[in-house]
Amino acid sequence: MLNSVPAGADRARALNLLAAIHIHGNDFGRAVNCLEEALANSSGGQLRVQTLLLSAYALMNSGEIGRALRSAERAVTYAEQVGDPGLLSQVLAVRATIGCMSGRGVDMVSLRRALAMEDPHSDAPLAFRAEASYALMLSWLGELDAARERLAQVRRQCVDRGAETDLVLVAVYGTLIELWSGHYDAAGALAAETFERAQQLGGDHFRVLAHNMLAVVAAHTGREQDVRENARAAIELAKRYDSPRLPDWAVIDLGFLEVSLGRHEQALQVLGPLIERLPREPGTEIISAAYLPDAVEALVSLGHHDRALPLIEALESNGRLLDRPWMLATAARCRSLWLATRGDVSGAVARIEEALRHHDRLPMPFERARTLLLAGQLRRRQRKREAARTALAEAVRIFADLGAPLWAERARAELARTFKGRSGLLGLTASEQRVAELAAEGLTTKDIAVALFVSPKTVESNLTRIYRKLRIRTRAELGRLISDAAARELGSHQPARTRR
């Protein structure tokens, strides 16, 4: 048609159709090019609104959030003039979604207006439907029960309409809502449904989404091989298209896995591109910035305090501006870790207490347990062993109940350390004993410094004194001495066995 249709409205319609096909195939760059030409050929009315609407969506998926928002704003302006309630509902919903992702927060006034005008019988894609946008943004606000209820309504509408394609996205949204709620079994079932529907419908776009969801559930449930396989599959599929945002969740999952395993250098390598992108895309909603707490932990653990600071400040400022519990809680936890590794333990404790207060408004149990883990470490550093044990025991319980074994093991290891570290076992001071035990466990100097919230130089000084006192030269010798001393201590506390 494009070879024969001259300039004008018919050509714009043909270009819109071609752009929609490119969008369906994840070729967002080509879609944007088609829509730019279509816009030049559309004189106004519904056609211009539809062109701008498609353009906003394509630009958003191309990672050009600023241009996407401008297209959405223009679409709303023209839609107001056209007077088609159903079309206006769509452009208001898309503008609200893009505005939220760009850091403007949730425009509830526009969303409620879009809901009131939405045509329940419309064949508009799910991404343009106000009910779906509302459910999604409720989840970003942390109102997970309300989001689940709204999404169930969207699902019923999709089933009634026979909208099989939309049901894939419903399953994706549902996976994230259940995961954030701590319902890992339900999240796993929805991720499996996403994969099954993607296989049935075909298309690489759906397969990328499915692999992303399988990876995120596997990451939280500690299945390392499944995470890596699904994340790599998603990234490889996404490389075929001009869609830089499509593999973001796979990258986030890999970064989270590396942090879960304590592999901070590897985490930083994975998350580096997302960190570099943040200044250009300052929005920090959980849907696009879930990686920030992991990035901060990796940077701080490796001593990159200056690089970590802008990430923390972005969470803090946006959290205060938008009153977003997830941002405020994770920002306070990140700031606490940053302060602790710089030697300000009292300041770190104050910020971790602030984080726990924010968690009271945030129904995300994993995030709370992660904050409790750091709280326990800080209280142990202050020699408040009972308080440390209380926090760490609660973290262990939550992680175990969730089915997050990697983090449960981390919390158990920290809890075990609250029963160690007493002086006298080998003639070491309490601080020397803590360093010796961690070194005997195989931790590097840098890792010991992070665990104890001291500098690597302090760890090295302690190790020098330990080696001199114990008259040893290697960590292998230290490991044997610590193991023998622990065995003797354990034996001295065992009740005598009754002889038969």
For residue range 176-206, list pLDDT tens digits in order: 999 999 999 999 999 999 999 999 887 777 8
pLDDT for position 499? 34
Residue position matching structure tokens 């890992």 = 184
pLDDT for position 496? 41
Q: Is the Cβ–Cβ distance between 30 and 242 less than 8 Å?
A: yes
Overall residue count recorded for the chain in this entry:
500
- Band (421; pLDDT cuts 50, 70, 90): low
Cα 289 versus chain centre, distance: 6
Mean pLDDT throughout 421-427? 61
Q: What 8-state DSSP symbol labels residue 290?
A: T
Q: What is the pLDDT of residues 139-162, one digit of tens each?
A: 999 999 999 999 999 999 999 888
What is this structure's pTM? 0.84
Torsion, Cα 225 227 228 229, to 10 degrees, reads 80
Q: What is the distance between the alpha carbons of residues 434 and 465, in angstroms, rounded to a whole number?
A: 13
Residue 288: partners with Cβ closer than 8 Å, 6 or more residues away: 101, 248, 281
CATH number of 430-492: 1.10.10.10
Closest by Cα among 407, 411, 380, 379 to 394:
411
pLDDT for position 500? 32
| Fold category of 1-138 in CATH | 1.25.40
Q: Is the Cβ–Cβ distance between 167 and 126 less than 8 Å?
A: no
Residue 447: partners with Cβ closer than 8 Å, 6 or more residues away: 262, 301, 438
Closest by Cα among 242, 245, 239, 204 to 30:
242
Amino acid at 335: R
Rounded to the nearest 5°, which phi and psi values hold at 27? Answer: -95, 75
- Band (431; pLDDT cuts 50, 70, 90): confident
Q: Is the Cβ–Cβ distance between 392 and 374 less than 8 Å?
A: no
Please report, rounded to a whole number, the percentage of residues in the chain having pLDDT higher than 90: 66
Q: Is the Cβ–Cβ distance between 27 and 60 less than 8 Å?
A: no
Q: What is the distance between the alpha carbons of residues 388 and 375, in angstroms, rounded to a whole number?
A: 7
Q: What is the pLDDT of residues 312-321, one digit of tens each?
A: 999 999 999 9
Rounded to the nearest 5°, which phi and psi values hold at 384? Answer: -95, 75
Residue 60: partners with Cβ closer than 8 Å, 6 or more residues away: 68, 97, 98, 101, 245
For residue 84, the SS3 value is: coil
- For CA atoms 305, 306, 309, 314, the dihedral sign is negative
Rounded to the nearest 5°, which phi and psi values hold at 344? Answer: -95, 75
Q: What is the distance between the alpha carbons of residues 345 and 329, in angstroms, rounded to a whole number?
A: 18
Q: What is the pLDDT of residues 11-68, one digit of tens each?
A: 999 999 999 998 887 788 899 999 999 999 988 899 999 999 999 999 998 888 899 9
Residue 134: partners with Cβ closer than 8 Å, 6 or more residues away: 93, 111, 114, 115, 150
Tokens of 357: 């207060």
Torsion, Cα 36 106 231 305, to 10 degrees, reads 110
Q: How far is CA 338 from CA 262, 267, 352, in A?
A: 17, 17, 11
Furthest-apart CA pair in the chain: how many Å? 103
Q: What is the distance between the alpha carbons of residues 434 and 429, in angstroms, rounded to a whole number?
A: 9
Is the pLDDT at 235 greater than 70, yes or no? Answer: yes
Mean pLDDT throughout 247-266? 95
On the question of a common fold for 1-138 and 430-492, the answer reads no
pLDDT for position 91? 96
Burial class (CB in 10 A: 0-12, 13-18, 19+), 416: exposed
pLDDT for position 25? 78
Domain ranges in the chain are 1-138, 163-257, 430-492
pLDDT for position 286? 95
Q: What 8-state DSSP symbol labels residue 44?
A: S
Residue position matching structure tokens 């949730």 = 106
